[in-house]
Amino acid sequence: MLIGLIGAPNKGKSTLFSAITMAQAEIADYPFTTIKPNVGVAYVTRECAEKGLGVRCNPRNSLCSEGVRRIPINVIDVAGLVPDAHLGRGMGNQFLNDLVGADVLIQVVDISGRTDSSGNASTGSDPAIDVSMVRDELVRWLADIIMKHSSALSRRDDGGRALAELLAGLRVDTDQIRRAAESSCLTLSNINWQTADAVRFADALIGINKPVIIAANKLDISDAGKVEELRKRLPHNTVIGCSAAIELALRKAAKAGIVDYLPGDASFAVRRDVAQEQAKALDYMKTYLRSNGGTGVQELINTAAFGFLGNIVVYPVEDEHRYTDHSGNVLPDAILIKEGSSAQDLAMRIHTDLAKSMLYAIDARKKIRVAKDYVLKDNDIIKIVSAAK
């Protein structure tokens, strides 16, 4: 799973990336801080299955703190996008091409209105304009790809398959193409579209293939009323207010042993005496968290993984009585898998040979046998039984 961080320059993307990954992305108060994409690992959070079982987990593929399992996902932060990027302005198509593998996008906007769509300092800039601009650039970029191959597409009877082959790098499948064509009232047989048709189709396909969450960043220097206003103006978008700067500061303070803070919490405890200026800053951050229920950053990541991509968490084990693997690790792996997946899909995620030789599964909570087509539920603990030696 890959989350892409996008947005106009100087909106706080690199700060958000650093906060969720603790990687050292360059952060500066000017456009195009990010030239090459930053790639890192963030963590989604879920209450660990250890709760209520009377056991303590030994995570292998993830982390666990105070009963909260943190499961790794990949994140990419790309260069800022400016108007007419699809024509080569700014970082141009480099930005767009870096995003092809992303499953979901988080667009970072400056809710304080202190930067314009090109990333320059301003006052009263409208974040809704940035949202429209980024969507338009994505659509125009995709439409241009389609129109450049229009001659070849027109010679294919099965235009859906032809488009799927053309856009394979975008992880687009034929079902998504069919749905986009239907909603655009376009035929997929011997495609002979005009530019306006390609734009209409691209807009529908982007909405299906690259869902976008709006991160209303810099809320610490703005007010919650602006977030609500943006939600009303963008009723078809999910808008989450956040402060990447405060999240990054708290994670750094926790790493340094100054505070006890877990990402997503609405409070933190100061562990040691600090200088007066530090105490003042920590008091300010406490007030922000109390007023907003947290920094909003972990909510962004969880919304992407669970709300938009429809994942659940499942724990595969080898011993259904002790909830362990063959080495005795309790609840060693937390697997993100699509809602609606079967026990055999889980076996496939573990190993293809295990799935091929699978006989049945065991629901370790209920200690009952379930079929290969058993539909997994969130927080299931599952043992796969196979004929493999």
Q: Give domain status of residue 178, yes or no.
A: no
Split into its structural domains, the chain has a count of 1
Q: Give domain status of residue 364, yes or no.
A: yes
CA distance 312 to 337: 6
Q: Give domain status of residue 353, yes or no.
A: yes
User: Reduced to 3 states, what is the DSSP secondary structure of residue 312?
Assistant: strand
Range of the domain at 353: 311-386
CA distance 246 to 281: 10
Going by their DSSP bridges, the two strands 68-77 and 2-6 should be labelled as parallel
Provide the β-strand partners of residue 3. Answer: 75, 104
- Which amino acid, one-letter code, is at 260? D
Q: Give domain status of residue 268, yes or no.
A: no
Q: Give domain status of residue 365, yes or no.
A: yes
Q: Give domain status of residue 245, yes or no.
A: no
pLDDT tens, per residue, the chain with 389 residues: 899 999 888 899 989 999 999 865 444 443 444 446 688 999 999 999 999 898 999 999 999 998 999 999 999 988 677 666 556 554 445 666 677 788 999 999 999 999 887 778 888 899 999 999 889 988 998 999 899 999 999 999 899 999 999 988 888 889 999 999 999 999 998 899 999 999 999 999 999 988 899 999 999 999 889 999 999 999 999 999 999 999 999 999 999 999 999 999 999 999 999 999 999 999 999 999 999 999 999 999 999 999 999 999 999 999 999 999 999 999 999 999 999 999 999 999 999 999 999 999 999 999 999 999 999 999 999 999 999 75
Q: Whole-model pTM?
A: 0.88
Q: Give domain status of residue 84, yes or no.
A: no
CA distance 141 to 138: 5
C-alpha torsion sign, points 65, 68, 69, 72: negative
Q: Give domain status of residue 372, yes or no.
A: yes
**CATH number of the domain enclosing 370:** 3.10.20.30
- Burial zone of 61 (CB within 10 Å; 0-12 exposed, 13-18 middle, 19+ buried): exposed
User: Reduced to 3 states, what is the DSSP secondary structure of residue 137?
Assistant: helix
